[in-house]
Amino acid sequence: MSFKLTDWLRYEIRQKCQRLQDKWERSAAKKWINDNPNIIIAITCVSLSVLLVVFVWFVWPEKTVKRVEHEKEWFYDLNTGELFAAEKGLTPPIDAPSGPLLESSGPLRNGGPAGVRACVLAYISEPNESERFIGFLETTDPRIESNSLPALDADASGAEQWGHGKLIRQIEDERWVGANSRWGQAILEEAYRPNENGETPIYCQPK
């Protein structure tokens, strides 16, 4: 019984295949393909090209975005009151374009370097000269060199670690204060105070 059923199925499949082949032989599509082989070749090439592009798109590794490192930072010439850019990571005071310091400034004495670090801020990412401002100036506490600066506690915060051994002041001030002192904290809060739109200023890198 099962043997006869299997033969019947084979017969039906063979018949359907034959009918499909007959329809294809008589179809207009086959005639059009036979009459236009160049077009078929062109369509095939285009399809293969699209598949190749899609394949490359998915398997090609993404290009690594090169991180831009800023190699300069702002410094302030105490003799001229002008900003200048210098190599990043220098310990202030550094040599300024105008030469040695002409007038004492707190711990900085005549004849020494006149360049101190400047924290230049703005409320927009690409400011022009008029849109940026100096939040504060920074130099090194001379007590570090004499090893007389008190050591920092092991559980000090990141902000305290940054301020350790630093003296800061505003442009219009004459007195340098410790960055971790209450006067120094007041200067930092003033520099980073949000504007009327609630925007916090960001540091501007030299171009």
**Sequence spans of domains, the chain:** 2-59, 72-203
Predicted confidence at residue 54, as pLDDT, reads 67
Structure tokens at 3: 């043997």
CA atoms of 112 and 109, how far apart (whole Å) = 6
Helix H or strand E segment including 6: helix 2-26
List average pLDDT for each run of 10 residues in the chain, which is 207 residues long. Answer: 53 68 62 64 70 67 54 96 95 96 90 96 91 96 79 79 92 93 95 94 91
The pLDDT score that the predictor gives to residue 2 is 46
Helix orientation angle between 37-59 and 28-35, rounded to the nearest 10 degrees = 90
Q: What is the pLDDT of residue 9?
A: 58
Stated pTM of the model? 0.65
